[in-house]
């Protein structure tokens, strides 16, 4: 019997951790396939000082990791899952067969507001320098930092707000944190809330919780509107109270469209500068059950809902928080699930209710002020969550440390802070994403649905093409055997003297 094929889709933290864990746990008795479009996995060595002006990116070649793990690498995107046929259809039209599949497609950050700047993960936003310089000269007198609905990892907003407030200390500028969360960092538990509230208060930050920030301008957030928009201009936004009591976590809900909000109580606020975290959408992979925001719906053991052969891990999963440490944890747990289902290798621990563990750093203000006296050009930044790195995972981090001499496998130092252990719910999107009737990101969702439909139509056309090719092959075969029979009959008849070749008497 052929070895079972285990296919991993996605070459990010979750996907690569899964490939490494699969080879280690499932042994050589399985065929591993990785579908990943990019040739490299990009990561930055961790540094808790350089969050916004990060250390240079480094990369791990997917080809090397594939060779190391004896994995067949298909450099392509998965466009659709056909679970009954146990096939993944790729963008180039290939079908990749699997016995067990792990989806590790990540999530897609999207601008939540037309107004202001958007903080991009692992970007190097020069705008922060402009704002810090403006705070120093007095040209910028108010800055808002926004945690929108669906942000899924709110910490960067707190880090930004603190650094801005420390820079502005002693001046007249104000820093405001506007968050959809009911309490600051409440998904990380009450200790985290207490600690961060104390830090925010000490820094003099105005905190407004339980609100959604929406554009005053209505209309789609399309590329034409954004091309004309000046992110460094003053921002006028509406601040709308979140609905309470509906049991939906605002960090996983979708933003509301401003023109659908109706007559809800709102307050208009104006800030010289505004920085918002992005909201996050799932991959909307056709053929896999996904919630309204496109995230893959899973059971508590990361099995895709209703499936016995497909698992999902990382940012693409419907979960209450997104973090690379969770992604790696999911990947290890999903591989353990595959090992059990396949009955091969040594099954590790199944993930049941994953937990995010880390430290919330405290008391960084004085140290920061000491190393960044007023008017320091490009002052350093600080992270709040420790360890801060994204290239994590029991197996992946070890491999990077072994291959990259510039990376240290050990965690640097021992920071000052409080330990946080936050259980992170997994599950059906309904529990997280049902939101106000009026929702934003509609254009994005519509585009994704149209794409979904197009892909389904494409799949149907490809299926018909394959069927037609098969029919053509059968007909050609039949024609050949008909010709053979005809030739044989003619030979017979000639032998019996019935027919004469032309030109002969």
Ligand X SMILES: Cc1cc2nc3c(=O)[nH]c(=O)nc-3n(C[C@H](O)[C@H](O)[C@H](O)COP(=O)(O)OP(=O)(O)OC[C@H]3O[C@@H](n4cnc5c(N)ncnc54)[C@H](O)[C@@H]3O)c2cc1C
Instruction: List residues binding ligand X (CB under 6 A).
Output: 9-15, 35-38, 77-78, 104-106, 109, 121, 152-153, 156, 277-278, 280, 283, 314-316, 322-324, 327, 390
334 vs 439, beta carbon nearer ligand X: 334
Q: Please say which residue, 121 or 463, places its beta carbon nearer to ligand X.
A: 121
Candidates 14, 9, 56, 8; CA nearest to 392 is 14
Query: Is the CB of 117 or the CB of 266 nearer to ligand X?
Result: 117
Least distance from ligand X to the Cβ atom of residue 487, Å: 52
Tokens representing 478 are 């039949």
Residue nearest to ligand X (CB): 12
- Tell me how far, at minimum, the Cβ of 314 lies from ligand X, in Å: 2
Closer residue to ligand X in complex, CB, 134/286:
286
What residues form DSSP beta bridges with 303?
311
420 has which bridge partners? 358
Residue 165 CB, shortest distance to ligand X, in Å, is: 20
Q: Which is nearer to ligand X, 35 or 214 (CB)?
A: 35
- Look at the alpha carbons of 288, 291, 295, 296 in this order and tell me if their dihedral is positive or negative: negative
Closest of 239, 240, 303 to residue 100, by C-alpha: 303
Q: Which is nearer to ligand X, 81 or 140 (CB)?
A: 81
Query: Minimum CB separation from ligand X for residue 330, in Å?
Result: 8
Spatial separation of the C-alpha atoms in residues 289 and 287, rounded to whole Å: 7
Question: CB neighbours of 441 closer than 8 A, spacing ≥ 6?
Answer: 110, 112, 221, 254, 255, 257, 279, 281, 293
Task: Pick the closer one to ligand X by CB: 134 or 287.
Answer: 287
Nearest approach in angstroms of CB 139 to ligand X is 28
Contact 240, 271 (CB under 8 A): no
Of 32 and 78, CB closest to ligand X:
78
In the complex, least distance from residue 200 CB atom to ligand X, rounded to whole angstroms: 19
Count of positions (residues) in the chain: 505
Ranges assigned E (strand) in 25-84 = 31-35, 40-43, 58-61, 71-74, 78-82
Q: What is the rounded CA–CA span in Å between residue 373 and residue 377? A: 10
Cα-only R_g, the chain: 28
- Bridge partners (DSSP) of residue 419 are 359
Choose among 444, 87, 431: nearest CA to 282: 444
From residue 475, how far is each of 51, 277, 467, 469, 484 by CA, in Å?
Answer: 65, 60, 12, 10, 14
Residue number, 89 or 344, with CB nearest to ligand X = 89
Taking the complex as a whole, how short is the minimal distance between the CB of residue 81 and ligand X, in angstroms?
10
Minimal distance, residue 28 CB to ligand X, in Å: 25
CB of 156 to ligand X, least distance (A): 5
| Alpha carbon 38 to its chain's center | 15
């Amino acid at each position: 019997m052929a070895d079972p094929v285990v296919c991993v889709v996605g070459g990010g933290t979750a996907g690569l951790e899964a490939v490494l864990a699969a080879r280690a746990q499932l042994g050589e008795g399985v065929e591993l396939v990785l579908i990943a479009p990019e040739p490299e996995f990009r990561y930055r060595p961790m540094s808790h000082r350089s969050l916004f002006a990060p250390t240079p990116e480094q990369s791990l070649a997917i080809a090397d990791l594939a060779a190391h793990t004896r994995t067949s690498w298909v450099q392509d995107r998965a466009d659709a899952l056909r679970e009954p046929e146990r096939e993944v259809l790729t963008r180039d039209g290939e079908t990749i067969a699997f016995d067990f599949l792990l989806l590790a497609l990540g999530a897609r950050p999207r601008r939540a507001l037309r107004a202001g700047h958007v903080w991009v993960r692992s970007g190097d936003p020069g705008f922060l320098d402009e704002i810090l310089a403006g705070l120093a000269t007095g040209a910028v007198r108010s800055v808002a930092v926004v945690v929108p609905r669906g942000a899924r990892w709110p910490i960067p907003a707190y880090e930004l707000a603190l650094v801005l407030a420390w820079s502005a200390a002693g001046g007249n500028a104000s820093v405001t944190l506007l968050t959809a969360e009911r309490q600051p960092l409440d998904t990380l538990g009450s200790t985290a809330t207490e600690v961060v509230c104390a830090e925010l208060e000490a820094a003099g930050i105005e905190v407004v919780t339980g609100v959604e920030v929406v554009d005053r301008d209505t209309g789609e957030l399309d590329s034409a509107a954004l091309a004309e928009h000046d992110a460094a201009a003053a921002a006028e936004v509406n601040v709308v109270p979140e609905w309470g009591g509906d049991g939906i976590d605002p960090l996983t809900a979708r933003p509301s469209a401003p023109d659908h909000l109706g007559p809800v109580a709102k307050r208009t606020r104006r800030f010289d500068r505004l920085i918002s975290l992005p909201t996050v959408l799932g991959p909307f992979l056709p053929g896999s059950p996904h919630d309204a925001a496109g995230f893959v719906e899973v059971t508590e053991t990361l099995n895709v809902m209703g499936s016995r052969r497909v698992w999902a891990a990382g940012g693409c999963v419907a979960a209450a928080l997104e973090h690379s440490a969770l992604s790696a944890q999911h990947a290890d747990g999903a591989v353990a699930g595959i090992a059990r289902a396949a009955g091969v290798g040594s099954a590790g621990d199944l993930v049941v209710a994953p937990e995010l563990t880390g430290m919330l750093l405290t008391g960084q203000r004085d140290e920061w002020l000491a190393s960044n006296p007023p008017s320091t050009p490009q002052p350093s930044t600080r992270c709040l969550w420790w360890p801060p790195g994204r290239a994590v995972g029991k197996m992946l981090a070890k491999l990077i440390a072994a291959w990259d001499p510039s990376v240290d496998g050990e965690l640097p130092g021992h920071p000052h802070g409080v330990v946080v252990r936050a259980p992170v719910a997994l599950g059906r999107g309904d529990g997280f994403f049902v939101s106000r009737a009026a929702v934003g990101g509609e254009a994005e969702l519509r585009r994704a649905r149209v794409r979904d439909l197009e892909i389904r139509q494409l799949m149907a056309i490809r299926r018909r093409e394959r069927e037609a090719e098969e029919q053509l092959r059968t007909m050609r075969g039949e024609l050949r055997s008909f010709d053979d029979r005809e030739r044989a009959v003619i030979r017979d008849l000639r032998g019996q003297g019935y027919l004469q070749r032309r030109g002969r008497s």
